[in-house]
């Protein structure tokens, strides 16, 4: 490993990641996320992880952004739309009508007793519930207190919204016989209390419902018990008749058992279906991340691991020292927020926020995460399984990362202020507590010509409220099957309030044509009231946004030049990496990646 000199101290903050609060239960002070901040030195061995092979990664502001039409279709004071991955909240039907749902409350307290699904429907001309002000928000569609809506239409023209009811302790299926119109009827799914579902329509006739949901965990704040030994079992359910009869229920999919895992966590997963293909993706932190896939509508399943964590069944406080140097290791994994999409050939594509973790206090019952980690990785089935060995890479010390992740680190929140870091005021510790990468909450769509689109919620470091940076929604795309990605474009309408708008939980319609269609949650305060920051309870707007895909990336230019190494071999200029560290080694001998030379970003491609 080449010697580096730290010129600009990069402070990384570790915050104890504690158990997340219990959605659906009263939000008591006793279940706060602990914010036990400690400042680490800036010379951790990270630079090579930033030196990824895709030069088209740094987002730019786009002058087109302010012209994108954005419409408020609802409001909510309950602002935790997920503990991890974004849920499928938008269903664009074949006739151009649209169903949208979100978790909603209109109460200004921490019980949110009216919580349920906020719903709106675009009938082809306009949204049926016209929302001018927060008090226009209509009541939930369900009769009991629920949350975590999966919204979808069936092939037979009926409509479903699946949630978990915290008053009845059961999964709830809200049904009606016509998409967009008619009364909703509630029904239980099973009798067992499952939480945080993800449900989609599939099957050749579009009337199969595939669902995954988690058993209630046990431990602090929870009253569940182990399920076949798992603390939180992610179980699969199937109905082939639109939710009347569930012919598969509480099924443990292959490898999702105690031979491989200690348990699973709320919302760290996604499900998608197309025809008879159905895929579940799990975005782990201290364990393997993987897909399980069926091509026979859920009868049989196979597993492929896309991030092969170096230690199976790692227990917090166990300690991880892969290079046996007596120093506990830092590890890269997913940040639990991922997206999944299936293309017309039935191939699965996944995206996930990247996070660095450490467990360097073996008596605190917690681990640490690094809020200034910045990146989204991509994988598709053509890459095969991740076979990164469970050893520290040559030249590294007490640091592990997946080659599969590092080779496909496709997007980041942008550097907008000209300093080499991304963080703005958050570099002094004021970050909003989502427990996510600076680029996270991915959501994906495909166009008929095979282009892959991915939206994400990313740091916009030049926009802050004095103590916390705001996140905007960005989009990137690949026209070559995921090999290269466009410079992400900020699609948040950002002229108002000088861009001081917190835009999170973007849920993109998986079908992209001449438009991207998505909903997201907008607030004027970074962070959440329900979790993390525990900001004051206030209205959050649910925005529907349409973006023309034609010309979307025309105003952006690649932020860096791709240069042959020889072009710089004989230069005498000082070479910095994007963390601001000067490299004293000859340029020709440096590893491939991004450098800054004479104030310009240079991508060294060999």
Residue ranges in contact with Ca ion by CB under 5 A: 317, 321, 323, 325, 327, 329, 359, 361, 364, 398, 415, 417, 419, 526-527, 533, 535
Q: Do 109 and 584 touch, CB atoms closer than 8 A?
A: no
Nearer to Ca ion, 214 or 522 (CB): 522
Q: 431 and 469 in contact (C-beta within 8 Å)?
A: yes
Least Å distance, CB 491 to Ca ion, is: 21
Of residues 14 and 552, the one with the C-beta less far from Ca ion: 14
Q: Helix or strand or coil: residue 392?
A: coil
Nearer to Ca ion (CB atom), residue 24 or residue 527: 527
Smallest distance, Ca ion to C-beta of residue 515, A? 32
CB of 421 to Ca ion, least distance (A): 5
Q: Would you say 453 or 505 has its CB closer to Ca ion?
A: 505
Contact 199, 160 (CB under 8 A): yes
Nearer to Ca ion, 123 or 361 (CB): 361
* Cα-Cα-Cα-Cα dihedral sign, residues 249, 253, 259, 263: negative
- Contact present, 236 and 298 (Cβ < 8 Å): yes
> 399-400 and 367-369: which strand pairing?
unpaired
Nearer to Ca ion, 471 or 477 (CB): 471
Q: Read off φ and ψ for residue 404, nearest 5 degrees.
A: -60, -40
Long-range contacts, stretch 180-187, CB < 8 angstroms, 24+ apart: 180/97, 180/99, 180/121, 180/123, 180/128, 181/121, 184/141, 184/142, 186/142, 186/143, 186/144, 187/243
Give the nearest distance from C-beta 336 to Ca ion in angstroms: 18
Q: How far is the CB of 582 from Ca ion (least distance, A)?
A: 17
Looking at residue 297, the DSSP 8-state letter turns out to be: T
> What's the min distance (Å) between Cβ of 63 and Ca ion?
20
Report the nearest approach of Ca ion to the CB of residue 330 (Å).
9
Strand blocks (E) in 204-298: 208-215, 218-219, 222-223, 234-239, 246-252, 269-274, 277-282, 289-294
Question: DSSP code of 412?
Answer: B
Q: How far is the CB of 422 from Ca ion (least distance, A)?
A: 5
**Residue closer to Ca ion (CB basis): 15 or 92:** 15
CA distance 458 to 463: 12
Nearer to Ca ion, 83 or 197 (CB): 83
């Amino acid at each position: 490993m080449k010697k580096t000199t730290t010129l600009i101290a990069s402070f990384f903050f570790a915050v104890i990641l504690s158990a997340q609060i219990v959605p659906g239960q009263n939000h008591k002070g006793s279940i706060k996320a602990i914010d036990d901040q400690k400042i680490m030195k800036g010379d951790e061995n990270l630079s090579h992880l930033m030196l990824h092979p895709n030069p088209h990664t740094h987002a730019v502001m786009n002058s087109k952004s302010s012209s994108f039409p954005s419409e408020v279709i609802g409001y909510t004071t309950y602002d935790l739309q997920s503990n991890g991955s974004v849920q499928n909240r938008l269903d664009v039907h074949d006739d151009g009508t649209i169903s949208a749902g979100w978790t909603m409350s209109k109460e200004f307290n921490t019980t949110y007793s009216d919580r349920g699904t906020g719903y709106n429907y675009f009938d082809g001309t306009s949204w049926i519930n016209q929302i001018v002000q927060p008090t226009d928000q209509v009541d939930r569609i369900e009769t009991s207190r629920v949350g975590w809506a999966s919204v979808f239409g069936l092939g037979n023209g009926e409509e479903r919204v699946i949630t978990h009811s915290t008053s009845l302790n059961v999964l709830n299926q809200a049904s009606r016989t016509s998409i967009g119109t008619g009364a909703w009827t509630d029904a239980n799914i099973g009798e067992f209390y499952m939480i945080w579902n993800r449900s989609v329509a599939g099957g050749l006739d579009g009337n199969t419902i595939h669902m995954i949901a988690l058993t209630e965990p046990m431990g602090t704040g929870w009253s569940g018990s182990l399920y076949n030994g798992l603390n939180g079992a992610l179980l699969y359910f199937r109905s082939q008749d639109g939710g009347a009869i569930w012919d598969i229920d509480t099924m443990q999919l292959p490898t999702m058992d105690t031979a491989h895992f200690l348990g699973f966590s709320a919302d760290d997963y996604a499900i998608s279906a197309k025809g008879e293909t159905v895929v579940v993706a799990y975005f782990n932190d201290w364990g393997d991340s993987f897909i399980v896939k069926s091509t026979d509508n859920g009868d049989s399943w196979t597993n492929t691991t896309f991030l092969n964590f170096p230690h199976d069944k790692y227990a917090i406080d166990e300690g991880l020292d892969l290079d046996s140097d007596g120093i506990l290791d830092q590890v890269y994994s997913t940040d639990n927020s991922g997206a999944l999409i299936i293309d017309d050939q039935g191939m699965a594509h996944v995206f996930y926020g990247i996070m660095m973790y450490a467990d360097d206090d073996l008596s605190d019952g917690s681990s640490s995460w690094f809020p200034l980690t910045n990146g989204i990785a991509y994988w598709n089935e053509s890459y095969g399984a991740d076979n990164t060995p469970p050893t520290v890479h040559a030249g590294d010390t007490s640091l592990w990362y997946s080659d599969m992740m590092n080779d496909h680190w496709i997007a980041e929140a942008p550097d907008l202020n000209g300093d080499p870091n991304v963080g703005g005021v958050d570099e002094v510790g004021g970050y909003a507590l989502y427990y996510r990468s600076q680029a996270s909450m991915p959501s994906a769509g495909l166009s008929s010509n095979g282009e892959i689109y991915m939206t994400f919620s990313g740091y916009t470091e030049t926009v802050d409220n004095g103590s916390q940076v705001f996140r905007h929604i960005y989009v990137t795309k690949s026209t070559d099957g995921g090999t290269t990605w466009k410079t992400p474009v900020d699609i948040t309408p950002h002229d108002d309030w000088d861009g001081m708008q917190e835009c999170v939980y973007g849920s993109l319609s998986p079908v992209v044509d001449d438009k991207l269609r998505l909903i997201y949650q907008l607030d004027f305060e970074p962070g959440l009231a329900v979790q993390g920051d525990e900001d004051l309870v206030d209205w959050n707007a649910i925005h529907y946004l349409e973006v023309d895909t034609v010309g979307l990336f025309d105003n952006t230019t690649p932020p860096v030049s791709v240069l042959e190494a020889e072009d710089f071999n004989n230069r005498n200029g000082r070479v910095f990496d994007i963390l601001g560290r000067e490299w004293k080694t000859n340029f020709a001998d440096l590893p491939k990646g991004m450098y800054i030379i004479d104030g310009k970003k240079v991508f060294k491609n060999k």
